[in-house]
Amino acid sequence: MPQSEQFPPSYPNQRRYRRFDLELPVSLRVPSEEKVLEFAAVSKNVSARGFLLKTHDRIPPRTRVTLTMEVLGPRSRRPIRLLGEGEVVRVEALEPGAGFAIAIDCKESITEISGPSSA
pLDDT above 90: residue 102: yes
Its pTM stands at: 0.76
Cα separation, 14 vs 111, in Å, equals 23
Can you give the CATH number for the domain in which 26 is found? 2.30.110.10
Residue 39 lies in a domain: yes
Domain count, the chain: 1
pLDDT above 50: residue 97: yes
Residue 58 lies in a domain: yes
Task: Encode pLDDT of 51-77 as tens digits.
Answer: 999 999 999 999 999 999 988 777 778
Residue 47 lies in a domain: yes
Residue 78 lies in a domain: yes
Q: What angle do CA 106, 93, 64 make, to 5 degrees?
A: 25
For 20-29, give one letter per residue: b (16+ CB within 10 A) or e.
eeeebebbbe
Range of the domain at 102: 4-8+19-113
pLDDT above 60: residue 107: yes
Residue 14 lies in a domain: no
Count of beta carbons in the 10 Å neighbourhood of residue 86:
20
User: What Å distances lie between residue 75 and 20, 22, 79, 115, CA to CA?
Assistant: 18, 17, 10, 20
pLDDT of residue 33: 84
